[in-house]
Amino acid sequence: MPLDTSTYGLALLRVDGRRWNELRRIYAQIRTQAAADGSSYLEMGHTKVMCVVTGPSEPGPRRGAGISSAGGAGGGGGGAGGQSKDAEVVVNIVIAGFSSVDRKRRGRSDKRTLEMQSTLANTLAATLHTHLFPHSQITISLHVLSQDGSLLAALINAATLACVDAGIPMTDYVTACTAGSTSTYAANDEGADPLLDLNHQEEQELPGLTVATLGESDRVVALVCESRVQISRLEGMLAVGVDGCKQVREILDQVIKAQGQKMILEGTVDKGTGLNDMDLD
């Protein structure tokens, strides 16, 4: 079903009623699972993902279950994890058969899944302080329960939350968001607006990219573009995407602070010295 983009020019509203710079509803939870070292649940619109982090732990005897990234020094990729000076980040994405509208089973060797796994592993290996955990492995398993566009962005955000929950030291939040453009590549439309946070319908039709930034800075840690984009529009899309990442960071920060307050109030963790100024009401 082709997306009707002709109406955008009239009211400047997208198919789901958002304006160009509006995010979909983001709902997130951390510490969703008692047995895991770290876990999170994230909804971006109708895209729903769950993340479970195990580790840093001793690397198991089995390998090759997911895409791994031996950060920097390892060099040898998967095989080097046990001996390398840095922790190895292993990412494992399971896309549930029931997640899309028509049931489509994707095997573990699906090319798109593999690419998302390696993007995530490289992004996180660059941000997590893996040098603090030599000879160990951080396993991140992600489950996609429902997908409606911006899948990679949702996976990155969920993985960040779960890593925070697992208490793995990291430079800053890695937050991701998608951006697109209102008219297709072929349409030589000068007045094309950039769009923030594409849903599945828009993702199918319009050019788009996924961008991940580090904390509040403008530093881009991951940029994935799988469609043809006119170079003149790229700058606008990137600017909107980076701006969206900052909004996402705000939301994730709120979620983590709320969870932290809850844990202090429940007495799960001691109130640290630096937390006295935190408003606990």
Partner 1 sequence: MASSQHVLLSPAELSYLHSSLSLTPPIRPDGRSPTQYRPLSAETGILPGTNGSARICFADGTEAIVGVKAEVEKTKRRWDDDAIYSENQPTEGEGQQQPGRDGDNGEESGSSEWVELTVEIPGYRDDDSGTIFLGQMLSEALLADGGFVRKLRINRRFHWRLYLDILLISPPLSYPLPLLSLTTHLALLATRLPKLKSEGDEDPFFDDDWAAAPYLYPRDPSNKQKVVERPPVTLLVMAVGGNIIFDPSKEELAVADVALAVSIGDDASTAQQIQGGDKMDVDSFSHGSGSGRNLKLLSIRTVDPPSRLTPPGVANAANSAYGHAQVVSSAGAGGNSQKMPEARQTESEAVEGVWKPPRGGAKAIVMGALVQKVLIRGGVADEVLDALEGVDTS
- Cβ proximity to partner 1, 25 vs 228, nearer residue: 25
- Cβ proximity to partner 1, 91 vs 238, nearer residue: 91
Q: Is the bond into 134 cis (omega within 30 degrees of 0)?
A: no
- Cβ proximity to partner 1, 91 vs 248, nearer residue: 91
- Cβ proximity to partner 1, 204 vs 261, nearer residue: 204
CB of 240 to partner 1, least distance (A): 28
| Stretch near partner 1 under the rule CB under 8 A, chosen from 14-22, 121-129, 142-150, 245-253 | 142-150
CB of 22 to partner 1, least distance (A): 22
Maximum CA extent, the chain: 61
How many Å apart are CA 163 and CA 37, to the nearest integer?
9
262, two tokens: 């809850």
Q: Is the dihedral of CA 120, 123, 128, 133 positive or negative?
A: positive
CB of 157 to partner 1, least distance (A): 18
- Residue in 117, 130, 137, 139 binding partner 1, rule: CB under 8 A: 139
> Applying CB under 8 A, what is the total number of residues that bind partner 1?
29
Phi, psi at 79, each rounded to 5°: -70, -20
SS3 95: strand
**Mind spelling out the 3-state secondary structure of 214-256?**
ECCCCCEEEEEECCCCCHHHHHHHHHHHHHHHHHHHHHHHHHH
Assess contact for 220 and 211: CB atoms under 8 A: yes
- Residues 17-36: x/- map of binding to partner 1 (CB under 8 A)? ----------------xxxx
User: CA angle, 208 as apex, 203 and 214 as ends, to 5°?
Assistant: 120
- Cβ proximity to partner 1, 107 vs 267, nearer residue: 107
- Cβ proximity to partner 1, 98 vs 185, nearer residue: 98
| Contact positions with partner 1 (CB under 8 A) in 60-99 | 62, 65-66, 92, 94, 96-99
Binding site for partner 1 (CB under 8 A): 33-36, 46, 48, 50, 52, 54, 62, 65-66, 92, 94, 96-101, 103, 105, 107-108, 139, 141, 143, 145-146
